[in-house]
Structure 1
């Protein structure tokens, strides 16, 4: 509930007249007709408390039933938002990026992640730079060389953090592993003390990103800004040190990792990107890995522990790969490509519990959708929760069934854990590798079961196991 304290604080401290002005001004007579049905909830806090109490899946499903299965209106993070639903909503957003809709980030995200860009005019520069880095550095041909590194790190992580124990609290261990993996691949940080220092500020930074942007010391946003400042300060030192080495050695044939490629990046004018902006992008990539990738792995492990027959099939597939290797040999890109059933298990896990709720867009013009009008400038939110459990496309939608993804798989625009279209998540290949490599190491070393049988996955802007995913371990 910490992230919602700023809403309650403002609700009771701001003058009542301000509420009235803000609340009724937006409903003035010149507002577009035929807006999508819905409610703005409470002044200032909108429907954020409802979302916190219900979770995204129920929040979206309830409003689709109450207002419209195609689109509804709400208020989240201080913004009036239209939520486009179902495959048609997904298709409209994915195929019209740059035409009808454009990228948009909540102010809290922009201020914490992109402070070196002009937030008063346009933040598109920051988003474009961030995504361009990702597309270039996270494409398959760039990532395949890192599979053996991922394998070695996963094996070491399980031997050090899991093997000595009969039971573990898996969530913090998985989060720590995915964070350390990102740090190793992005900036080659391996020092445990430095890793722990950065990781300690990540949790408050993540909480601040999806909060009301009230910069006071006791608010989630205030703590997030403080955490982000520390994290970026450490990353900036690493970038500056590497830059000095590269300048001293003339770029040359020194260490060739992702950070070295960052430092060679040029903007549209042919100038080197500043150290501050590189640090911002690296922290953004760390954040995505710490949040989305870790959430996805937690979800996969959660379901593997719940369904022994699924675990048995995954183990069979993974042991065949393990037996094809000589002792001490790491798995490769080609080995990951053989993990067909395991990947179907991952996809079914992401269908039932997506690692993130969705993303925000902004209407570039008035948009007609499902008989309603979304006015220019209004925020749009697309969410996988509107299609992933639709029984029309996924029979018995609450049932865990990896066979859904055999053959041609789900209908277009129904299964969208990584988005779609030209703006599909550039980190999807990295996420696939990180999940499957750890999955391979985990199931070939342990059988496991949940210590809290009725534990749930909490669905908010990201997903987490309600009690930290305690597991009993049984080594093979």
Structure 2
């Protein structure tokens, strides 16, 4: 009965959106729009985009349409319920990054906006600048230079002892998810109770699966389950927020204790503070960003190191040189992170070949011209990280895994964009860099590993993960 009702409602939605599309297209029919197709009513070409990711070839969506429409710079489509212009390659990246808050502004599909609510991701203008400045003071390089590297090292060592030491086989993705989530809970919330972390982590597993989905809000759909999980996470966060506010008022907590205290005690120039609901939304966002992208990156790095023993050896040698400068039991410092140049080149090449996310969105704030075409105000814009990174025009011998691409000046500007660019470059870039490097230091100095599924397929759902989670056989080594 539920299935029949769902089918009927989908038909009604499709018809309504068809009428809306037909009427809205009339108003733009006289404009010189980019070539392309809107696809099916309501669904547009969303299914093709999502399927390309789940097939492990996210660049296919853009490449096929460039070839079909004969437009290498921009084409039109419809994704997740919105008319959209897809900007292609370095020229498109440069245009979007350089015109932030002028011609284009932040935008995310309705599924993202409904799930995250009002936060840095979904705001723009002066309010977004304030939120970004406040968060950057906690997540920027200056903050990590003080003590975060050491804290990450302590958490990483504990995780390896509890989840890797003594094991013959490990599912990397599942195990790294535990690590990454525990790390952000400790650094952002000072949350150390493992059962509480596990409860939040199980909710996040459901939450993640519906973030980038068609906004079909019926019981049983991925979007509906994700929205409910996000609400449950918020409920848990609100309890923590209220308890921390009391602790701050009673002098039992410090304003510099963690991200939660920082958000509760920071205001803008006019003395405005974030509401508790806005704090919950921003922490939800950062838990998501700090947990899932790092999990994917570390898993993919371990896959590449398992496939390329010569690269593993070079990474190991660099990390052993750092070990030689440390006393027994001494934690990593900011200065040690700066020495991991070859290791970071390896990380960068992994993110080039298999970027954790497929792409990102913007919105046209005014009518503007691009590549000879008119982009109307209100149109949504999409730029594909994957298709930029996997273009022979940008990287010679594109399929080859070659960390030396990042030596010296590195790739041509706007061809390598895993963290975006411009005023809205990924806020967690430095957090992710330190987290990944600290983990790689600890894992290679303790273990070597064999991949139990050679050539395991990578799928995007919505982020890049090995299809079976990357099971490995561990071999302990002694420093």
Scaled to the shorter chain, the TM-score interval is over 0.9
Q: 1:416 to 1:280 in 2, by over 3 A?
A: same
Spell out the pairing of 1:329-344 with structure 2 (5 A cutoff).
Answer: 329-344=330-345
Spell out the pairing of 1:146-295 with structure 2 (5 A cutoff).
Answer: 146-249=148-251, 256-267=257-268, 269-295=270-296
Match of 2:67 in 1: 65
Query: Per-residue deviation at 1:126?
Result: 7.1
**Uncovered stretches (5+) of structure 1, i.e. residues with no partner:** none
- 1:355 alignment partner, SS class: coil
Spell out the pairing of 1:320-331 with structure 2 (5 A cutoff).
Answer: 320-331=321-332
Match of 2:105 in 1: 102
CA distance in 1, matches of 2:9, 2:44: 11
Query: Per-residue deviation at 1:274?
Result: 1.6
CA distance in 2, matches of 1:413, 1:448: 35
Cα pair 2:316 2:444 within 8 Å, conserved: yes
- The RMSD of aligned alpha carbons is 2.3
Q: 1:231 to 1:97 in 2, by over 3 A?
A: same
Larger mean CA deviation between 284-293 and 26-35 belongs to 26-35
Q: 1:460 to 1:383 in 2, by over 3 A?
A: farther
Query: Per-residue deviation at 1:367?
Result: 2.0
Match of 1:45 in 2: 43
Spell out the pairing of 1:83-102 with structure 2 (5 A cutoff).
Answer: 83-102=86-105
Larger mean CA deviation between 18-27 and 188-197 belongs to 18-27
Match of 2:448 in 1: 447
Cα pair 2:106 2:124 within 8 Å, conserved: no
Cα pair 1:93 1:101 within 8 Å, conserved: yes
- 2:416 alignment partner, SS class: coil
- 2:363 alignment partner, SS class: strand
Query: Per-residue deviation at 1:52?
Result: 2.6
Query: What is the TM-score normalised by the length of structure 2?
Result: 0.92
Q: How many residues align?
A: 467
CA distance in 2, matches of 1:464, 1:57: 16
Larger mean CA deviation between 384-393 and 158-167 belongs to 384-393
Query: Per-residue deviation at 1:34?
Result: 2.0
CA distance in 2, matches of 1:138, 1:100: 28
Cα pair 1:103 1:124 within 8 Å, conserved: no
Cα pair 1:32 1:375 within 8 Å, conserved: no
Match of 1:384 in 2: 385
Deviations 1:379-431 (A, max 9, x none): 00112123212223310001000000111111111111111122211110101
> 1:456 and 2:454 equivalent?
no
Cα pair 1:365 1:377 within 8 Å, conserved: yes
Q: 1:371 to 1:30 in 2, by over 3 A?
A: closer
Cα pair 2:15 2:41 within 8 Å, conserved: no
